[in-house]
Amino acid sequence: MAAKIQTSFCLPSFSIPRKKPYSNQFTISASKSISGRKLRAAVIGGGPAGSSAAEALASGGVETFLFERNPPSVAKPCGGAIPLCMLEEFDIPHHLIDRHVTRMRIFSPSNIAVDFGKTLKPDEFIAMLRREVLDSFLRSRAHAAGATAVSGLVTGLDLPAATNAPYIVHYTANGSSRRSLSVDVVIGADGANSRVAKAIGAGEYACAMAFQERIKLPDEKMAHYENLAEMYVGEDVSPDFYAWVFPKCDHVAVGTGTVRSKKAIKVYQRGIRERVNSKINGGKVIKVEAHPIPEHPRPIRVKGRVALVGDAAGYVTKCSGEGIYFAAKSGRVCGNAVVKASEGGERMIHEADLRREYLKPWDADYVSTFRFLDLLQRVFYGSNACREALVELCGDEYVQRMTFDSYLYKKLARGRVWDDAHLFFNTVGSLVRSNVLHTRMETFIL
């Protein structure tokens, strides 16, 4: 297979109706600090987090600038799987979807395969999109809502010297000319290597490294992945994550990730290639991509009038590595928070406003989801024996229904007491059969 870095894909066309001009629905309490003008916000990064934040800000009456360094054809390295609830919540048109995945198959270290989509209802599926398509759409919608597009790389951020003084965003436009813009509020949506996070001293987070090859398959092999996504677990493909084959418009994305052994990522990529060899041989690698995935939120997500959202904040779930929905949702929650606290862009906001209107509701809604998936990753990705137990459990219809309900609708599904007890005994049984509990007991006794 010949590798070629970067390939261009054609983007489907879409038209976005321009929103009605902002109508003021807030009680205005004039503040001297910005009287006679609107609150000004810079959103750094035009991924799902930034575009959703910019759309909320502009629709709510804040003067908004959306900075993005890349042209629309450049895709963020990503699997592109999004949950069903995102289509409705973010009004994403169905013609942007490449594949409707209704079958998931998970393979254990010993290659036992379990089908994982048996409980899906006829209208339920996982949507697979190309990121260049999704991101272009969300960006266009932010612009249609009134956000000004700034094509350029943000190179620095000066913090204000006094309480209500502006932040200065430095950027290079068109690759050369240096410019700056004064703003009242900054939203850092600039991904895992966030410069905004560095500028405010938000602290570091642990990252996984994900590696992915896009492989164009002969038609008969592509037919196998028509509506099927595969996940593989085992020491050969990752010491602490899973490897995947996801179907895209006219190719598959084959990849893996790891936190513990980033330097060995290519060894694990060889591992997944070997496992799926019979299904992908004859294919042609059309793109190779790698990118960090945050493992947990940053120590600081709000400082002064700066807020971090999406990957910049660290909102990717463990176990599944899912971040698109949480990026878009956190951007929207944060944008709405600024609109509410500024009373539609009429008054200055402060750190306490961002904490109260953005961080507090966000944490109340999602901290338990993130903690639960963290726990699952630690229990089930720890050794090959645990992974065998995980795959065995995935065969249980109750587990499948709870998992898909939680994933597709982004709510921790509520179970029934009897079924939960049954699940508990099944989990213990799977771990015992896989020799995990036995080994743990021996370690304990010794």
Ligand X SMILES: Cc1cc2nc3c(=O)[nH]c(=O)nc-3n(C[C@H](O)[C@H](O)[C@H](O)COP(=O)(O)OP(=O)(O)OC[C@H]3O[C@@H](n4cnc5c(N)ncnc54)[C@H](O)[C@@H]3O)c2cc1C
Of 86 and 386, CB closest to ligand X:
86
CB-based contact 238:302 (threshold 8 Å): no
- Counting Cβ atoms within 10 Å, is residue 197 exposed (0-12), middle (13-18) or buried (19+)? buried
Rounded Cα gap, residues 245 and 257, in angstroms: 13
From first CA to last CA, the distance across the chain in angstroms is: 50
Of 270 and 433, CB closest to ligand X:
270
With CB under 6 A as the contact rule, the residue among 39, 40, 47, 186 that binds ligand X is: 47
Binders of ligand X among residues 167 to 226 (CB under 6 A) are: 189-191, 195, 210, 212
Cα separations (Å) of 247 from 47, 101, 414?
A: 22, 8, 31
**If binding is defined by CB under 6 A, does position 318 make contact with ligand X?**
no
**If binding is defined by CB under 6 A, does position 410 make contact with ligand X?**
no
**If binding is defined by CB under 6 A, does position 234 make contact with ligand X?**
no
**If binding is defined by CB under 6 A, does position 166 make contact with ligand X?**
no
**If binding is defined by CB under 6 A, does position 271 make contact with ligand X?**
no
> How near is the Cβ of 239 to ligand X at its closest, in Å?
17
**If binding is defined by CB under 6 A, does position 359 make contact with ligand X?**
no
CB-based contact 109:236 (threshold 8 Å): yes
Tokens of 141: 């919608």
**If binding is defined by CB under 6 A, does position 80 make contact with ligand X?**
yes
With CB under 6 A as the contact rule, the residue among 200, 265, 316, 334 that binds ligand X is: 316
Of 242 and 343, CB closest to ligand X:
242
With CB under 6 A as the contact rule, the residue among 39, 41, 42, 44 that binds ligand X is: 44
> How near is the Cβ of 346 to ligand X at its closest, in Å?
28
* Candidate ranges 73-81, 106-114, 160-168, 438-446; the one touching ligand X (CB under 6 A): 73-81
**If binding is defined by CB under 6 A, does position 41 make contact with ligand X?**
no
**If binding is defined by CB under 6 A, does position 255 make contact with ligand X?**
yes
* Cβ contacts of 81 within 8 Å, gap of 6 or more: 101, 126, 127, 128, 229, 246, 322, 324
**If binding is defined by CB under 6 A, does position 298 make contact with ligand X?**
no
**If binding is defined by CB under 6 A, does position 157 make contact with ligand X?**
no
Rounded Cα gap, residues 384 and 294, in angstroms: 24
With CB under 6 A as the contact rule, the residue among 166, 314, 321, 344 that binds ligand X is: 321
Of 326 and 380, CB closest to ligand X:
326
Of 65 and 380, CB closest to ligand X:
65
Number of residues that bind ligand X (CB under 6 A): 39
Rounded Cα gap, residues 269 and 145, in angstroms: 42
Of 106 and 431, CB closest to ligand X:
106
Of 46 and 247, CB closest to ligand X:
46
Residue ranges in contact with ligand X by CB under 6 A: 44-50, 67-70, 76-82, 153-154, 189-191, 195, 210, 212, 255, 291, 293, 310-312, 316, 321-325, 327
